[in-house]
Amino acid sequence: MTKEVIVYSADGCVECTYVKKMLEEEGVPFEVRDIMANKEYRTEVENFGFMGVPVIVFGDKAIKGFTPELKELIELVKE
């Protein structure tokens, strides 16, 4: 079973745009979940322990923001 990368995002979120662009440039497929369009997605973000976006999830790993951890997550995805 392939794991999927999920990006919790919101319209107008600059950091979210950077994260999605980086994933695209690295050739990493991902699903975008807009927390403003779906209340369930907001709840999922809160369940990961975060109050804002972007939140990037792969398997059981969740990270917040456009950080060095994003590179580590991309490497995990590519393994």
Q: Write the CB contacts of 62 (distance below 8 Å, at least 6 apart in sequence).
A: 48, 49, 50, 55, 56
What integer pLDDT is reported at residue 1 of this predicted model?
36
Torsion of CA 20, 39, 5, 13, to 10 degrees: 10
For residue 67, how far is the Cα from the chain centroid? 11
Domains of the chain plus CATH, in order, are 5-78 (3.40.30.10)
pTM, whole model, 2 decimals? Answer: 0.92
In this predicted model, what pLDDT tens digit does every residue of 29-74 receive, in sequence order? 999 999 999 999 999 999 999 999 999 999 889 999 999 999 999 9
pLDDT score of 3 more than 80? no
